[in-house]
Amino acid sequence: MTYSISEVAKKLDLTVYTLRYYDKEGLMPFVKRDSTGTRQFKDSDIDFLKIIQCLKATGMPIKDIREFIAWCSEGDSTLKQRYNMFTERKARVEAQMEELRRTMEVIEHKRSYYEKALEAGTENIHKITLAPDREHATSS
């Protein structure tokens, strides 16, 4: 089965413009065109586009994604490069997750702070329970 660019855009929650941009940037050399030049996407093309979306979500630059696609085209001789690339991506995503975890801790702390202030009807509840030298450190 083949899909039009608009069908693929809908399946992947992307815009047609984004898919055309990916094509212009050389990220879709695997997509065939019919005799009129219309892109004809296969299920395997959609699967590959999901990998591209994943790599983009990790913050990978287009030029690096293009290099990955070139490695895929080269075959088994680039298995090590592709493995290393995903190992590096994994480390970056883990670091991002840790940063988000720390951010969530701050957010949860501030939610708790404001929840207690709302229950008391004032932020002064926090000032009463803190030593004078910490009074301004936790407000806001």
The enclosing domain of 50 has a CATH number of 1.10.1660.10
Q: Report yes or no on 45 lying in a domain.
A: yes
**Average pLDDT for 98-127:** 94
**Mean residue pLDDT across the chain:** 91
Query: Is a pLDDT exceeding 80 seen at residue 129?
Result: no
Query: Is a pLDDT exceeding 70 seen at residue 133?
Result: no
Query: Is a pLDDT exceeding 60 seen at residue 93?
Result: yes
Instruction: Indicate the range of 90-94, 106-110, 134-138 predicted with least confidence.
Output: 134-138
Q: Report yes or no on 20 lying in a domain.
A: yes
Q: Select the highest-mean-pLDDT range: 34-43, 80-89, 112-121, 122-131.
A: 80-89
Q: Does pTM top 0.85 for this prediction?
A: no
Domain span including residue 65 = 5-74
Structural domains of the chain, count: 1
The CB-based long-range contact list for 23-31 (8 Å cut-off, 24+ gap) reads 25/62, 25/66, 26/66, 26/69, 27/52, 27/62, 27/65, 27/66, 27/69, 29/69, 29/73, 30/69
Q: Report yes or no on 98 lying in a domain.
A: no
Q: Report yes or no on 118 lying in a domain.
A: no
